[in-house]
Amino acid sequence: MDSGTDSRPETQGAGITVQRALELPGLRSGLPEILAGADRLGRTVRWVHAGEVPNIASLLKGGELLLTTGYGLGTRPAEQRAFVRTLAERGIAALVVELGPRFSRLPAALVDTARAAGLPLVQLHREVPFVAVTEEIHTEIVNGHYALLQRAEEVHRRCTEALLGGGGVPQVLGILADFGGNPVFLETPDGRLLYAAGEGPEGADPLQVWEGLRGPHKNAPPPAGSVLVDVPGGGPGTAGSVRARLVLLPVRSPLAPVHRMAAERAAGILAVVLMQARQEEELAARGRGDFLTDLAEGRISATDAPAQARVLGFKPGSSPLLPVVMRVGDALSPAGGTARASEAERGGGWAVLARAVSEELAAVGVPVLLGVRPVEGRVLVLLGLRAETERSAVADRVAAALRAGVERAGARRAGSAPPVVVVGVAGGWAAASAGLRHAAETATAAQGLTDRPWYDARRLDIDLLLWRLRDHPDLAAFVDRAIGPLRDHDRRSKPPLLPTLETYLAHAGRKAETARELHLNRQTLYNRLARIGELLGTDLDDPQTVLALSLALRARRHAP
């Protein structure tokens, strides 16, 4: 056996160690001297046993601290070596021998064999009552197990409170990852990743950990010290079935028994949540949404992104990437139809939406990575184009598929604004990162614009700039100076004049087209334009005035 430091994960934080047992009053009063295995004192003592028979190893299960006065050790060196070897093979925590009538000093054969086997060997120079030592250590072990149970129950309580507070599976996995200090994964029984939480070494994204340790080796055993816990299925005829699997990988620090206990309790909670229809699909969509959001916000580099995308099933090769963002906002009808439904309730709506949109996008004919972000009300999409010249045609098909998915899912609340689809710039992974971020912000800024099948993010930069300035008092002051008199007029008088000005500017001052769209005769339009100029005290034919009024009309959607 290796005589190096014992760092087995099961020995970490699992109750009383050999070192702790030697520090308790019972053994300490025996003046213990460590003769072998000093670097293995971190082993966990599962139980204490006292005995004097030669074949005592056959009575043990492993993890025991064995107390003896040495009468069963034998008198010949060969017997003593065999006695120690069988104990080491059984996996006991330590051997403690009380000196006295049988031995005044432990034989060299005994000590040398213990050192070679890596077995902690301790001799006691004073007599101690074994019964008292056993009771003392067992009390400590039971107290340690109770403390572990309390820690695991605390995790269970936090997970339950998260669900009752409107959280979902990601929150439960996040709590478990924080508790264990390692990344946590939820996978299907066949090894497909559903969701990842936590961080890898040095803050690495958990998808990097998955790619390196689990992705290519789904059928291989996980790394030593990992924790795998089945999430049971539910429903008729599913007794004993597995719905999913929790995987805790010890990549930042060793995992202890308490982490398995916490995972087992979390698995019970997850089983209840996953019984809701399509929860696995919604989780996978949220996991992809988290990846795309991290990519957009620069938390995943363009170098690491392709490998992580492959874990999620997206393999565009060297194709240009087209980022698309749809903002559903408050248009998504939560389960039960209440505006204040919890995240768990809304999850049903997002699961249906993700399924419907995915099925519609399947007909587009290009590689697609689709994710959802319920908190922001977004659907994020990354597509692989055959060429950048396809951008407009693919954008048409994708926008139609996204909107059709929303309709199929019944995700539009009556009276709500239609979803906004924004298409970014095509390019490589670095461009996809910036494009996703730009499209996501622009989708928010575009709320309230005239409905279109999709918007080109590049053509909404002015709206995005004005949206970013929405809380600045100068923006509100500018809007008030530019069109305040018209707003005051429209509050008091009919017909309102702001729509006339908006239409006139939208048609670049072409009066015939403006009159046609407003269903006005030309003279009525001339009269309204004259009235607008009079109220504003300006000339509508002046280019600077036209620019200021155009900006003010676009900014009024954002100004407080």
CB atoms under 10 Å from CB of 149, counted, come to: 13
Instruction: Please report whether residue 263 resides in a domain.
Output: yes
How much is the average pLDDT of 249-264?
Answer: 87
Q: Which pLDDT belongs to residue 558?
A: 73
- pLDDT, tens digit, for every residue of 437-446? 999 999 888 8
- pLDDT, tens digit, for every residue of 200-242? 888 788 887 877 776 555 566 777 888 899 988 754 444 457 7
In the predicted structure, residue 548 carries a pLDDT above the cut 60: yes
Is the domain of 258 the same as that of 292? no
Instruction: Please report whether residue 226 resides in a domain.
Output: yes
DSSP track, 87-131: HHHHT-SEEEEE-SSS-SS--HHHHHHHHHHT--EEEESS---HH
Is the domain of 312 the same as that of 235? no
Is the domain of 175 the same as that of 246? yes
Q: In the chain, what is the greatest distance between 2 CA atoms, to the nearest angstrom? A: 125
Least confident of 42-51, 234-243, 483-492, 496-505: 234-243
- pLDDT interval class at 331 (50, 70, 90): low
d(CA 32, CA 18): 12
- pLDDT, tens digit, for every residue of 15-36? 588 999 999 999 999 999 999 9
Q: Which pLDDT belongs to residue 9?
A: 34
Q: Which pLDDT belongs to residue 217?
A: 57
Q: What would the two tokens of residue 150 be? A: 């309390």
Is the domain of 301 the same as that of 423? yes
Is the domain of 208 the same as that of 342? no
The total of structural domains in the chain comes to: 4
Q: Which pLDDT belongs to residue 10?
A: 37
What separation in angstroms does the CA of 37 have from each of 30, 63, 367, 418, 456?
19, 15, 58, 71, 70
Rounded to 5°, angle at Cα 173 from 168 and 175 = 100
Q: Which pLDDT belongs to residue 219?
A: 62
Whichever domain contains 239, its CATH number is 3.30.450.40
Whichever domain contains 34, its CATH number is 3.40.1390.20
Beta-bridged to residue 48, according to DSSP, are: 65
* Domain closes at, from 106, 128, 150: 128
Which is higher by pLDDT, 158 or 330? 158
Is the domain of 393 the same as that of 404? yes
* Domain closes at, from 467, 499, 522: 467
Is the domain of 483 the same as that of 462? no
Instruction: Please report whether residue 395 resides in a domain.
Output: yes
What separation in angstroms does the CA of 185 have from each of 192, 199, 230?
10, 11, 12
Instruction: Please report whether residue 455 resides in a domain.
Output: yes
State the alpha helices, DSSP H only, in 428-497: 429-445, 461-468, 473-492
Sign of CA dihedral 104, 108, 113, 115: positive
Is the domain of 338 the same as that of 316? yes
Query: What range defines the domain where residue 513 resides?
Result: 469-555
* Domain closes at, from 443, 467, 491: 467
Is the domain of 37 the same as that of 122? yes
Instruction: Please report whether residue 461 resides in a domain.
Output: yes
Q: Which pLDDT belongs to residue 338?
A: 37
Is the domain of 261 the same as that of 297? no
Q: What would the two tokens of residue 249 be? A: 């990988």
Instruction: Please report whether residue 137 resides in a domain.
Output: no
CB atoms under 10 Å from CB of 469, counted, come to: 16
Which is higher by pLDDT, 135 or 333? 135
Is the domain of 59 the same as that of 165? no
- pTM for this predicted structure: 0.58
Q: Which pLDDT belongs to residue 337?
A: 37
Instruction: Please report whether residue 50 resides in a domain.
Output: yes
Sign of CA dihedral 21, 26, 28, 34: negative
Is the domain of 488 the same as that of 365? no
Instruction: Please report whether residue 146 resides in a domain.
Output: no
Peptide bond into 495 cis (omega under 30): yes
Torsion of CA 443, 447, 449, 451, to 10 degrees: 80
d(CA 84, CA 121): 9
Q: Which pLDDT belongs to residue 556?
A: 83
